[in-house]
Amino acid sequence: MIYNPQIEQMPRDELKKLQSALLIKQVERMYERVECFRNRMDLNGVKPSHIKSIDDLHLLPFSYKKDLRDYYPYGLFAEPMENIVRLHASSGTTGKQIVVGYTRNDLDNWSGTIARSLSAAGADKNTFLQNAFGYGFFTGGLGIHDGATKIGATLIPIAAGNTQRQITTMVDFGSTMITCTPSYAMYLAEAIEEMGVRDKIKLKAGIFGAEPWSEDMRHAIESKLGIKAYDIYGLSEIQGPGVAYECEYQCGMHICEDLFVAEIIDPDTGEVLPEGSTGELVFTTLAKEGFPVIRYRTRDICSLIYEPCRCGRTHIRMNKPTGRSDDMLIIRGVNVFPSQIEEVLLKVGGDITPNYQIIVDRVNNTDTFDINVEMSDAFLHDEVRSIERLEKSIVDELRSVLGIGVKVHLVNPKSITRSEGKAKRVIDNRKI
């Protein structure tokens, strides 16, 4: 079902007019209110008056994840805090978290995009929606939550984890739709099989996101759970989930183009690439009030689909991101940068960064996350418990920075493979 036909099926020339009007307004507003944006505009000699339509988007400066750290916590907000009604936070590229803020209108637009996403996956007021995304700073839980309420579904805000309870709830409450990460969906599917309750569950569909997954994984989830598995895209810097979502044809995710404009650029030169090219995805928020961004570099590599979709929605689609233009890893749905790990090791090791290697794998549909740390003088002690205390402080510190658990292994010096003198920092053995 199409939740908002007027917007989702808006003829493209009208959509373009809407985008142009919103962009002009957004640029004027941000030039006035966001120092970082104004400085970059001035540096490039671009004035808000130069922006006459969406076609002028390429004149505007890029913005980066690093900006959120440099202007932490509220330096990029375009509204006074009295108008901010919600904060969400996620991990930055270093130990410091990043924070975004929403006005009432922002939350309303956000839940609107989730309402579109849920409707596209067949949800309505008769749906029992088991929301197994994490609640809290993570945008997944509360994002889906508000959208589900908007369409009047019966929301089951179970949050992430506790598989036994997830399945019992699914059976007892008669959940017909589930939202979680794709790897957790696989995990649940296997647990359901083991418990032999497959015939007791009423699930018809699931919406999965927050980590990369493949078509093979989709097919596995669909056949194991007997459901249709839909993809959803988002990032907290833009809004959270609902920036783009799949329709019943499952052929790319429709971008909510009335709110977000997508571009594909060459990550090295910054040049906008021709339609259909694969490159880095860049987003501009047209209607965001609290935390608007212009040409935000998502670092996700993907392509856009301009051909009309059979579903009748006029908004373009994006293919699943196939990689990153930076070294970010997504582990159990959490963004992890090697630089964050480096910072923790530096802190714990007393100003010396030991050689380390991150090893990521997927075992029983759960990501494993191990860090090998080369033993050094700074870490050696004649008492085992002192070394263990040190290992524990690395694990604890990483958990507090990243929000996920990690196993630390002390290994011999020089045992981490080096190529051309540089240690290979990340080994990702996951076959997604």
Partner 1 sequence: MFVKQLTIFVENKFGRIADILDILGKNHIDIRALSIADTSEYGLMRMIVSDPSAAKTLLREAGIIVKITDAIAVPLDHTPGGLSRIMEILRGGGISVSYLYAFVGMYGNDAVVVLKTDKPEETVTLLSQNGITPLGNV
Tell me which residues touch partner 1 (CB under 8 A): 375-377, 379-385, 387-388, 409-415
**Which helix (H) or strand (E) is 285 found in, with range?**
strand 278-285
Rounded CA-CA distance 357/351 in Å is 18
* Shorter beta-carbon distance to partner 1: residue 339 or 376: 376
* Shorter beta-carbon distance to partner 1: residue 1 or 411: 411
Supply the minimum distance, in Å, between the C-beta of residue 66 and partner 1: 36
* Shorter beta-carbon distance to partner 1: residue 81 or 380: 380
> CA distances (Å), 326 to each of 18, 237, 329, in order?
33, 16, 9
Dihedral, CA atoms, 151, 154, 158, 160, nearest 10 degrees?
-40
Residue 301 backbone phi and psi in degrees, to 5: -100, 125
Supply the minimum distance, in Å, between the C-beta of residue 423 and partner 1: 15
Supply the minimum distance, in Å, between the C-beta of residue 389 and partner 1: 13
Supply the minimum distance, in Å, between the C-beta of residue 396 and partner 1: 17
* Shorter beta-carbon distance to partner 1: residue 178 or 416: 416
Compute the Cα dihedral for 66, 67, 72, 78 and give only its sign. Answer: negative
* Shorter beta-carbon distance to partner 1: residue 213 or 379: 379
Rounded (5°) CA angle 98-100-105: 175
Closest to 92 in 3D by CA, of 136, 137, 132, 140 = 137
Q: How far does Cα 123 stand from its chain's mean position? A: 22
Supply the minimum distance, in Å, between the C-beta of residue 387 and partner 1: 7
Provide the residue type at 229 as one letter.
A
* Shorter beta-carbon distance to partner 1: residue 105 or 353: 353
How would you write 214-266 as a 3-class SS string? CHHHHHHHHHHHCCEEEEEEEECCCCEEEEEEECCCCCCEEECCCCEEEEEEC
Rounded CA-CA distance 323/325 in Å is 7
Supply the minimum distance, in Å, between the C-beta of residue 399 and partner 1: 18
* Shorter beta-carbon distance to partner 1: residue 191 or 387: 387
Supply the minimum distance, in Å, between the C-beta of residue 37 and partner 1: 49
